[in-house]
Amino acid sequence: MNTKLLGLLAIALLAACSKDDAPPGPEEPGGSAGNPVKTGTYRVVNLVADTNATSAGDAVSLYYSLEENRVVPASQRQTGNWDIVFYGIYNSSVYPNNGNAVGSPGFGGPGKAEIAVIVDRKFDVAYYDTTHFKPTQLPIPAALWSEAYNKVTTVPAGLRFVTRDIGLDHFLGGFDGWGYYDFYGSLFPGNPQKAHVVYTMPRVLIVKTHKGRYAKLIMESIYKDSPANPDRTHKPGYITFRYSIQMDGSTNLNIP
């Protein structure tokens, strides 16, 4: 059992390495010493969360340390060694590692991380119906990701951090999220390959890490190799995201 788990994690780690990544630190069972990254921008590509993921249930949780740019074993879920977890259906709920995060793996633990999503309705209208909360065009132009990301140069004043998850946008709930879940394929009537598809949106998340450092993060895809226009033929469970972390403790996110 343990070896199987370790094997999976090893695969996940390997998948996490992308060209422009800093090399991930060695696996440290205790994790406390750590191997922090430098202030900078990192892109995590095809991170394997759960390749058997379907819409039929929760995927295997995936714990990530932004400060060390690495996957953290599930056995350390009740430690401060990770900052965010990809949890739930299609790993779509991004929870901070926070002991108060009800319903999350970090609940009751020592975690102090928090999370927020920046919602800029003036920007959103470029791709999104701000009254009915759904994309107005698919695929959403890729250029909007860079635009949204580069606009965030600091932690916005008054941004409301939460300990709950940031996940699917207004999916039978009232919360802004990073992805639109087209449950019934209603954006593409009559095409069954388009039901149960998650479309990432150009929304920037701000994470306050467990150790109190700020990072901005943008989800790019939950499908293998980030297809521009995903459907049911694409494999979910491969998370691609970009993040920039400020290690000096300031709110400055103007990070190349």
Q: How many residues bind other proteins (CB under 8 A)?
A: 33
Of residues 19 and 132, the one with the C-beta less far from other proteins: 132
Of residues 77 and 196, the one with the C-beta less far from other proteins: 196
Antiparallel, parallel or unpaired: β 128-129 and 134-135: antiparallel
> Are the C-beta atoms of residues 73 and 30 closer than 8 Å to each other?
no
Quick one: which of 35, 34, 64 has its CA closest to 243?
A: 64
Q: Cα-Cα-Cα-Cα dihedral of 67, 68, 71, 74, to 10°?
A: -70
Among 8, 35, 120, 170, indicate the residue that binds other proteins (CB under 8 A): 170
> Are the C-beta atoms of residues 165 and 153 closer than 8 Å to each other?
no
Cβ burial, residue 117 (10 Å; 0-12/13-18/19+): buried
Q: Is the dihedral of CA 250, 76, 161, 40 positive or negative?
A: positive
Of residues 69 and 104, the one with the C-beta less far from other proteins: 104
Antiparallel, parallel or unpaired: β 84-87 and 93-96: antiparallel
Tell me the two tokens of residue 50.
């759960």
Among 132, 157, 158, 248, indicate the residue that binds other proteins (CB under 8 A): 132
At closest approach, how far in Å is the CB of 59 from other proteins? 11
Among 82, 86, 87, 243, indicate the residue that binds other proteins (CB under 8 A): 87
Q: How many CA atoms lie within 13 A of 35 on its CB side?
A: 14
Antiparallel, parallel or unpaired: β 70-72 and 62-65: antiparallel
Among 29, 158, 189, 256, indicate the residue that binds other proteins (CB under 8 A): 189
- The span of 23-31, 69-77, 166-174, 219-227 binding other proteins (CB under 8 A) equals 166-174
Could you tell me how many residues make up the chain?
256
Contact between 161 and other proteins (CB under 8 A)? no
Contact between 123 and other proteins (CB under 8 A)? no
Among 158, 172, 248, 256, indicate the residue that binds other proteins (CB under 8 A): 172
Contact between 56 and other proteins (CB under 8 A)? yes
Among residue numbers 195 through 254, which ones bind other proteins (CB under 8 A)?
A: 195-196
Of residues 170 and 232, the one with the C-beta less far from other proteins: 170
At closest approach, how far in Å is the CB of 28 from other proteins? 29
Quick one: which of 167, 159, 166, 171 has its CA closest to 133?
A: 171
Residues that bind other proteins in the complex, under the rule CB under 8 A: 55-58, 87-89, 93, 95, 101-104, 130-133, 164-165, 167-168, 170-175, 183-184, 186, 189, 195-196
